[in-house]
Every structure is written in structure tokens, then in C-alpha cells.
Chains A and B, each alone.
Chain A
């Protein structure tokens, strides 16, 4: 059975400017987002995330390649775009209209005006008591909430949210996280989420793509990516000897660390690339949980006293920083 793709890009490329001033914002990007999941789209500033989203929404024309929504080309296809709701690069509104009037104007533009639905959406994003205030007086967080309401208008099947938690307080971020999961689990929507809040992404996304300089550098299920660079914490005495033993098997060079870190080392393991960090309180070995017996055996054979060997959970943030800095060094 073929998988239904809500969103797909094929060799998507976008250049801005001409001649010497030409800048490639998106570089042969291939992306596939299956329907019915929350897909995280991550990358540092200027990586090309928003440009990709703008191409998907036909706001910006691709230089090469194509963007597809539900298997159809998004380019000059307004009927197709009605199946998509989006919040792009910060919510914006007519400042002289109230939040509710703004939603009404957008709904009428789309031809899906439904007063009751607008009221329900306002309620859903927690803006019922502020919807009749002029949007010009809204805080960033309030605008974001209304922006999400606008994205949900017209019952779209695919919802693209570009930094939806910008400006939200912790409670708002939590509400947004719940809302996003609900959209997928209860309403059966697909959510394409671009965010810098990696903790949030880790909690809500099923899959993520990490983009850098317009290219995808990693893509996969969140759990799978985190397992890829799992780390093991080793507390042993003498620490320097333990470090030396582990270096014999994994270490290739020794690097001075920052505060709280004595040294960081990158090594080539037989099966995978791993790295080690030595901290004041122990050694961090970038290895999977299944490597722990081997690490323990090496240390015991060298008569080193082991106090703790435990897998250390790596966050998506750690992973993101590792991947993007790895690409920087490449």
C-alpha cells in the first residue's frame, strides 16, 4: 500500500538575487512528510526553513525543483492551498481591526466564513476574552495564538506552523504542545512544525528533519535520531586512568573543554563514529547502551574502580547542536 504524502519536495532549490549577489537559500531539498503525523523542521537561523515554507505556500517561486501538497504541485494552485492552513514567520494582523474581525476577513477571503467556527477557534486558542480587542494592541503571544486560530480556519488537512511558540509564556507553550498533538491524534490532521524550541519539538514531533544551509543534514524519527548519538556516563577512579583506557579503544585526539569540561575527544569506533567528553565528575562516552558491557570490561581489566556506568539520555537540543556543529567542522 502506498503511503499518503501530505507534503513533498523534490530537488527544491531557491536562489535570491542575481550574479555575484546570488544567495542560495534552499539547495536541492528532498522532503517527504506522511499524513497524520507531526513533522519537525529544524535548522539554525538562515537555514532555509521559512523559504521552504513560503515555496510550499506558493508565496515564493522555486528556482528549481517542485513542492507538492497531497501529491499535487503547489505552484499556482489556490484550490489546493485551501487544504492547508499556515502560520508563517510570526502572526500578523490588520492592527485597526479586532482579532475576531481579522479572522472574519481571512475567512471571507477564503470563502469559508462561519461565525460559529471562528468563535470555537478563538476559544480553542484561549483568546475568547481578548478577541474583541484591536489586534494592534496584542502582545506577541496573543498574536501567535490568533495566528494559530487563523491557520486552523477552513478545516485544513495540513497545518504548517512556523515558530508557533514564539512569544508564548511557559503555560502557552504547554497549551500549544497539547493543541498540536490533539490536531494529529484527535482531528487526524498533519502538522509541519518549524521551531527553535527543540524541547517542544522533541515532545510533540514524530519525525524531524534538520536543515542547514538549505540542505537536509539529518532526517528521521525523533527516537531513532536520539539513539544514533546515545551517550554513556562513566564515573570511575582513577578518572585519568579510565580516560586513558577508553581513549586507547576509542580516542583519536584530545581537545580542551570549556567550563566544567576537562576535555572532549572524537574517536572512530569500529561500527560508528563516537566521541568522548571528560568532565570533572566523570567521562562521557558517545556510545549506545549496548556498548556498556564492553566499556565495563575494559575498565575492569585495567583494575579501575567503577562507580557508575549509565546511559545518558541525549536531548534533541544536544543532538541538534552536535549535528549542526559537526556540519560546521566538516
Chain B
């Protein structure tokens, strides 16, 4: 299994243009921004003073990257990346080489795992770049980089690590959902472009579902219709992220007026797991039935 993971990792990492465009862009952009900010710190006394007046918190800095991946745009970018991972095998006619060497289920499930781990690694790298980079900036500005470890309240570091782990896990799940949408697109269209289109469309369509339900509610005057939005992966990922960050759940503003409350963490966790298992099993089932004719 490790060998199969390594094979997929090498394939993904070797496709440098795609990796740079859809995943590498995040840590690279963070690095570039920090370099730019570093120049600003060196040349601008005002900028230095601003940092001294309101020094950044390293805990917040380390958590920031995970928020990106859990937005609709972040997930859409992940879907586009996954489209190449899945649709690329069709477009490059590589399935005929791979499937004579390993079972279909193992290959497709390994793709999900490797792709999500790859994304996770890229965002971990981004966390490190931001964490260290912002620290250097504050040092250049002559400011502190709070909170100091010695100033931490009992259990605060543990709480931070738990939050970091939760955010990383939500990002992992978000990447998997995006990958599943793209994989379905790849299986149906047998092309990268088709996988991108379907993957991005499905990701963005989740917001469309909320809008459709809102309009239907206006027409039918049945607020229970809005409840269906709770069953989308997008809502539950956002809800889990909000619970992890702020200790309270997420609810779209238009739903509050009807007395809805956010789903609890347990319900959202179960729904995300159900979606992940369902989508991946659907991909495996479809792929196992498919004739590879090119």
C-alpha cells in the first residue's frame, strides 16, 4: 500500500505546472507576500509602528491557512486540482497501464488518500511559512510575537493544538469532497476539462442549493425546505470549521429568522463522513463497472 501511495505521490508531485497552479500557489503566494511585507517593514517606519502597536498572534497565523481551503473558492480550486489527478489518467490514456498492475478499488481509493495528503502537506507548509515568516516580520519591526509560551494559560496550548488538528481534519475532508466531485466528473467525461467542469460546478452548486431552497421557500412558504441545506457537505464543513474556530455553529443569516439553529458538531461530523464514504464508494462502484477503451 505504501508503494502504491508513493507511486501516486510521485505522479502528482511530478506534474509541477498543475501542482504550482492549484496547490503550490498557496504557500508560494504566502512566501511572496511575506517577502513584500518584509521590504515594507524595512522601508516604512509607519508599517513597523503598526506592527508594534498590534503585534500578530502566532496561533491565529498558524490557523489562518486552513480557513482558505474550507471556502467555496478554496474547494473549487481543490476540485480543479483533483480533476487532473483523476481525469488526467483518462486523458493521458494511462489507465490501461495502471489497471493491469493493481485492482481498480485500490487505485482509486489511493488516489483520494494521496491527493488529500498532498493538499494537507502543502497547507502545512503554508502554515510553517506564515508562522515563521510573520515571526521574522515582527522581529524586524522590533515587536513581540505573542503569546509567549511562558504566558500561556494552563491547557491553552493543548486547546490550540486541538483546534489546529480539527482545522486540518476539516481541510482534509474538504479536499476529499472536492476530489470526489472531480473524480465523478473524470469518470463520466473521461477528460481533465470535463472533470474540472463537473468538480468546480458541483462545489459551487452547493451554494446554489441554498439559493434554490431560499427561493422555493419564498414560493411555497414552507421554511422546512431550508432544512435541506443542512444536508449538503458545504454547510457541514463550514459548520464544523466555525464550531472549531469560535465555539459556535454556522447558520446562513436568512435561516436565523425562521428559528433554525446550527447543527451540533456530532451531526455535522456524521454527515460529512456519510458524504465522504458515499461519494467515494460511488466513484469506486462506477469505476469498477467502466470499460477502459482508450
Chain A residues within CB distance 8 Å of chain B: 16, 54, 57-61, 76, 78, 81-82, 84-86, 88-89, 92-97, 101, 104-106, 108-111, 113, 150, 154
Q: A59: which of B10, B99, B103 is its contact (CB, 8 Å)? A: B99
Q: Are B16 and A96 neighbours in the complex by a CB distance under 8 Å?
A: yes
Measured between beta carbons, the chain A residues less than 8 angstroms from B92 are 92-95
Q: Do residues A109 and B293 form an inter-chain contact, with CB atoms below 8 A?
A: no
Which secondary structure dominates where chain A touches chain B? loop
Q: Across the interface, name the chain B residue whose C-beta is closest to A82.
A: B101
Q: How distant is B187 from chain A, measured CB to nearest CB, in Å?
A: 15
Within 8 Å by CB of A97, from B14, B96, B289, lies: B14
Question: Does the CB pair A111–B3 fall under 8 Å?
Answer: yes
Q: 15 other contacts beyond A76-B288, A92-B94, A96-B15, with CB at 8 A cut-off?
A: A57-B96, A57-B100, A58-B99, A59-B99, A76-B103, A78-B106, A85-B100, A93-B94, A94-B94, A105-B7, A105-B10, A106-B98, A108-B3, A109-B7, A109-B107
The answer to whether A101 and B101 touch across the interface, beta carbons within 8 angstroms, is no
In the assembly, what is the distance between CA of A81 and CA of B104, in Å?
A: 12
Considering only CB atoms, which chain B residue lies closest to A91 in the complex? B97
- Could you tell me if A109 and B101 are in contact, using CB atoms closer than 8 angstroms? yes
How far is A85 from B92 in the complex, measured between Cα atoms in Å? Answer: 19
The answer to whether A59 touches B94 (Cβ under 8 A) is no
A59 touching B291 in the complex, CB below 8 Å, given contacts A92-B96, A94-B14: yes
A residues near B14, Cβ cutoff 8 Å = 94, 96-97, 101
Give Cα A88–Cα B10 distance, bound, in whole angstroms.
23
Report the Cα distance A318→B149, complex, angstroms.
Answer: 87
Verify if B243 is at the interface (C-beta below 8 Å from A). no
Query: In the bound complex, what is the Cα–Cα distance between A61 and B106 (angstroms)?
Result: 19
Complex CA–CA separation, A78 to B104 (angstroms):
8
CB distance from A34 to the nearest CB of B (A): 22
Smallest CB separation, B189 vs chain A (Å): 18
Q: What are some 26 contacts across the A-B interface (CB < 8 A)? A: A54-B293, A58-B100, A59-B95, A59-B99, A59-B100, A59-B291, A59-B292, A60-B292, A60-B293, A61-B289, A78-B102, A78-B104, A81-B100, A81-B101, A86-B100, A92-B92, A92-B96, A96-B14, A97-B10, A97-B14, A101-B10, A105-B7, A108-B3, A108-B10, A109-B101, A109-B107
Supposing A92-B93, A94-B14, A101-B14 touch, asked if A109 and B98 sit within 8 A by C-beta, the answer is: yes
Segment 1-25 of B: residues with Cβ below 8 Å from A: 3-4, 6-7, 10-11, 14-17
Assess whether A150 is in contact with B97, with CB atoms less than 8 Å apart: yes
A32–B103 Cα gap in the complex (Å)?
26
Contact between chains at B293 and A110 (CB < 8 Å): no
Across the A-B interface, the 9 shortest Cβ-Cβ residue pairs: A108-B7, A110-B101, A78-B103, A59-B292, A92-B93, A60-B291, A109-B7, A97-B14, A109-B101
Closest Cβ of chain B: how far from A13's Cβ, in Å?
Answer: 14
Picked from A92, A96, A111, A113, the residue with its CB within 8 Å of the CB of B17 is A96
Kindly state the separation between the CA atoms of A150 and B94 in the bound complex, as whole angstroms: 12
Q: A111 to B100, Cβ gap below 8 A?
A: no
Residues 92-122 of chain B, each 1 if its beta carbon lies under 8 Å from chain A, else 0? 1111111111111011000000000000000
User: Which residues of chain A come closer than 8 Å to B97, judged between CB atoms?
Assistant: 92, 106, 150
CA distance A94 to B16 in the complex (A): 12
Q: Which residues of B contact A111 (CB under 8 A)?
A: 3-4, 102
Instruction: Name the one of B4, B288, B292 contacting A108, with C-beta atoms under 8 angstroms.
Output: B4
Q: Identify the closest chain B residue to A56 (Cβ).
A: B100
> Are A54 and B107 interface neighbours, CB within 8 A?
no
CB distance from A261 to the nearest CB of B (A): 41
Q: Which of A57, A78, A88, A94 contacts B15 (CB 8 A)?
A: A94
- The residues of A that contact B293 with a CB separation of less than 8 Å are 16, 54, 59-60
CB distance from B105 to the nearest CB of A (A): 9
What separation, in Å, do the CA atoms of A16 and B294 have in the docked complex? 14
Would you give the shortest CB distance from A184 to chain B, in whole angstroms? 20
User: Roughly how many angstroms separate A113 CA and B14 CA in the complex, as a whole number?
Assistant: 18
Most A Cβ at <10 Å: residue of B3, B16, B97, B291: B97
Q: Would you call A57 and B6 a contact (CB within 8 A)?
A: no
Residue of A nearest to B16 (CB): A96
Of A16, A57, A85, A96, which contacts B99 at CB under 8 A? A57
Question: In whole Å, how far is A69's beta carbon from the nearest beta carbon of chain B?
Answer: 11
Chain A residues with Cβ below 8 Å from B3 are 108-109, 111, 113
CA A112 – CA B104 in complex, angstroms? 17
Residue on A nearest B288 in the bound complex, by CB: A76
A89 to B94 CA separation, bound complex (whole angstroms) = 11
Proximity string of chain B (76-104) to chain A, C-beta cutoff 8 Å, 1 when within and 0 when not? 00000000000000001111111111111
Q: Would you call A59 and B17 a contact (CB within 8 A)?
A: no
CA distance A96 to B15 in the complex (A): 6
Contact A54–B4 (Cβ < 8 Å) = no
Complexed CA–CA distance, A97 and B100 (Å): 20
B88, closest chain A residue (CB): A94
Chain B 265-284, CB within 8 Å of chain A: the 1/0 string?
00000000000000000000
B177, chain A: closest CB distance, angstroms: 25
Cα(A57)–Cα(B94), bound, Å: 14
Q: Give the chain B neighbours of A92 by CB distance below 8 A.
A: 92-94, 96-97
